[in-house]
Amino acid sequence: MQATVSTTDKSLVDLIVPVYNEAHVLERSAERLAAAMADCREFLWRIVVVDNGSTDATETVGRRLAEELGHLRFLHLGPKGRGGALRRAISETDAQFAVYMDVDLSTDLAAVPAAVELLRRGADIVAGSRLHPDSQVTRCLKREILSRGYNRLVRFVMRVKSFDDAQCGFKGFRLATVRSLLPLVKDQNWFFDTELLVLAEYAGLKVCTLPIVWVEDADSRVNIPRTICQDLAGLARLRRTAGSLVRQWRKQSRQE
């Protein structure tokens, strides 16, 4: 599969889009993302769609797009879970950097080159933030309150300072460093983002926050009560284990 050619830099950036039962929007979103990146000459790029356990026609659409579009790669996983989808895409690539986004493309795509630039300058993770003072966010009051409450809880419980919006569906990764942390990350679902960010800060990786323009998707089907319960359980587990996990990781890294 060919990546889209850049005239100024040979670094390859995967644009990862995890999907679950998104047959009705996948093609439109892929076309919109490709159109937004068409004039990019700053780096090589390709779209990586990761289907995690869809039960609709998402796999059929994804495989067709991979055949028709030279800049799109399709991966299929049996188990459901955004964390598992991201883990697979991060683990199985020859790219130098990756930027992931939700299939609804709620984050304005101008954030993609901005995130890549921060990664080039030395960031290991770039976390899009809907809570940054310079961000422009459109969403309902309920989600605003839940988001602010959750992120304050994360900062209080884990004593982290490098990010303020753990669950925003837009992040960039320096793959060589982030990949080394994956064995420490246990969650396969929505808590994956929080866990990876916390472990990255504890491990001394450089985490940068990026202000974004973000518009809520009215078709979002996230089960909020279930996700809250899973996140709280994940936080309790991470509070107990993060320090020892990172110490073991550092010890093993020195031995290697």
Per DSSP bridges, beta strands 97-101 and 12-19 are: parallel
φ, ψ of residue 109 in degrees (nearest 5): -70, -5
Question: From the candidates 193, 217, 219, 231, which is the catalytic residue?
Answer: 193
Domain spanning 12-249, CATH architecture? Alpha-Beta Complex (3.90)
Residue 4 has pLDDT above 50, yes or no: no
Answering whether pTM is above 0.85, one says yes
C-alpha 178/C-alpha 119 separation (Å) is: 12
**pLDDT score at 220:** 64
CA dihedral 17, 22, 24, 30 (to 10 degrees): 10
Identify the helix (H) or strand (E) that includes residue 196: helix 192-202
- Which band of pLDDT confidence, cut at 50, 70 and 90, is reported for residue 227? confident
Burial of residue 2 (CB within 10 Å: 0-12, 13-18, 19+) is exposed
Q: Domain boundaries in the chain? A: 12-249
- Model confidence pLDDT, tens digit, residues 113-158: 999 999 999 999 999 999 999 999 999 998 899 999 999 999 999 9
C-alpha 243/C-alpha 252 separation (Å) is: 14
Residue 8 has pLDDT above 50, yes or no: no
- How is the chain split among helix, strand and coil, in percent rounded to 5? 45, 20, 35
Q: Is 193 a catalytic residue?
A: yes
